[in-house]
Amino acid sequence: MAETRLNTLEYDPDLCNGCGMCSIVCPHRVFARDGRTARLVDPGSCMECGACALNCEPGAIKVDSDVGCASAMIRAALLRRKQPVCC
């Protein structure tokens, strides 16, 4: 069975330095600290806001923050729409 990706989130645990910033800044608790590294606990909940990647000093996290729900919510607010349009 082929894996279906719900978002652009990519995480490389080999690059993780264990700072835990991703778990602190993520509004949907996609990451959790797991000993000396982070662990993806709910990657499907990622709304692609980019906070985790911006706060990941070693670059273990990559996400395209110009797509997805976060981008749609910002666009809707700027255009004064009542409902964001996600995918």
pLDDT in tens, 25-42: 999 999 999 888 999 999
The model's confidence at residue 60, banded by pLDDT at 50, 70 and 90, is very high
Amino acid residing at 41: V
C-beta neighbour count of 80 within 10 angstroms: 6
The share of the chain scoring above pLDDT 70, in percent, equals: 77
Walk me through the domains of the chain, giving residue ranges and CATH numbers: 10-78 (3.30.70.20)
CA distance readout (Å), 13 to 10, 58, 78, 84? 10, 10, 36, 33
C-beta neighbour count of 39 within 10 angstroms: 15
The answer to whether residues 28 and 42 touch, using CB atoms and an 8 Å cutoff, is yes
The answer to whether residues 29 and 10 touch, using CB atoms and an 8 Å cutoff, is no
Exposed / middle / buried, residue 32 (Cβ in 10 Å: 0-12, 13-18, 19+): middle
Q: Is the pLDDT of residue 57 over 80?
A: yes
pLDDT in tens, 47-56: 888 899 999 9
d(CA 34, CA 39): 6
